[in-house]
Amino acid sequence: MNNRQTILEIKNLHAGIEGKKILKGLNLTIKAGEVHAIMGPNGSGKSTLSAVLAGKPEYEVTEGEVIYMGKNLFEMTPEERAKEGIFLAFQYPVEIPGVNCAYFLKSALNEVRKYRGMSELDAIEFLNLAKEKMKLLELPEDFLKRSVNEGFSGGEKKKNEIFQMIILEPTLAILDETDSGLDIDALRIVSDGINQMRKPDKAQLVITHYQRLLNYIVPDFVHVLANGQIIKSGGKELALELEERGYDWLTNGKG
């Protein structure tokens, strides 16, 4: 088990935004084939972690390092990280008016393929691929023609994120509160999509507030993030315990 490749190694990560310290010495190692869940109360730094890993410009790393697939993550631009196989499913996906989903995703896919030395897909090849994957997420026919996220319902936005993930086949998928704002049917569909991507050479980092999602996406490890650090790690049963007891018993103990 231990000889599987390390995909992500976070060592003593300190980071924040606009001078405010949010992550304060976070450590985490993710290996191929693993699904890690990060849970924690509001303001614990969950979204900061995903933003820092994806390279959002306004976040500042003050200390520590992150090695992704043997490379220094912080030497890569956001688009290089994406092309190297890091995918962030956004909590609040932005709208891009006038740019249709097909065009957007085809551009993204071909950037990634070019980078990986694969041939670019033409319009027809792309459409065939997209239509096949759309079925998995029960996306409507006209979906590809609509502007990216414009006028989408909350559920559609999240489905679109997962749809993009399935098409781009990332090595490391970071899912930032993908379950928020989903009804039970949408949650099931989205989770099925995420589980599709569970493969021996890939890994997932699932950030969530609620245990509910973890009924569908069963993690190998659960970590509790509080005050910028991981204060407890365990197996999937930890999530259930948190559901029952909340976070207080952990945070109080640590002070």
List of residues contacting other proteins (CB under 8 A) = 54-58, 77-79, 81-83, 87-88, 90, 93-94, 96-99, 103-105, 107-108, 111-112, 115, 147, 164, 168
Q: Mapping DSSP to helix (H, G, I), strand (E, B) and coil, where does residue 24 land?
A: strand
d(CA 98, CA 18): 32
Indicate the residue among 164 and 229 with the shorter CB distance to other proteins.
164
> Cβ 33 to other proteins, closest distance in Å?
24
Give CA angle at 218 (173, 171), nearest 5°.
Answer: 20
Q: How far is CA 154 from the centre of its chain?
A: 17
Residues 6+ apart with CB under 8 A from 159: 137, 138, 139, 186, 189, 190, 193
DSSP-H helix ranges across 84-231: 101-115, 123-136, 154-168, 184-196
Q: Name the residue nearer to other proteins (CB basis): 87 or 152.
A: 87
Q: What is the DSSP string of 53-82?
A: HHT-TTEEEEEEEEEETTEEGGGS-HHHHH
Q: In terms of CB distance, is 96 or 121 closer to other proteins?
A: 96
Tell me the closest approach of the beta carbon of residue 196 to other proteins, in angstroms. 19
Question: Shortest approach of other proteins to residue 139 CB, angstroms?
Answer: 17
- Tell me the closest approach of the beta carbon of residue 206 to other proteins, in angstroms: 17
Of 18 and 141, which has the nearer Cβ to other proteins?
A: 18
The distance from CA 33 to its chain's CA centroid, rounded to whole angstroms, is 15
- Comparing CB distances to other proteins, the nearer of 53 and 224 is 53
Q: Smallest distance, Å, CB 181 to other proteins?
A: 18
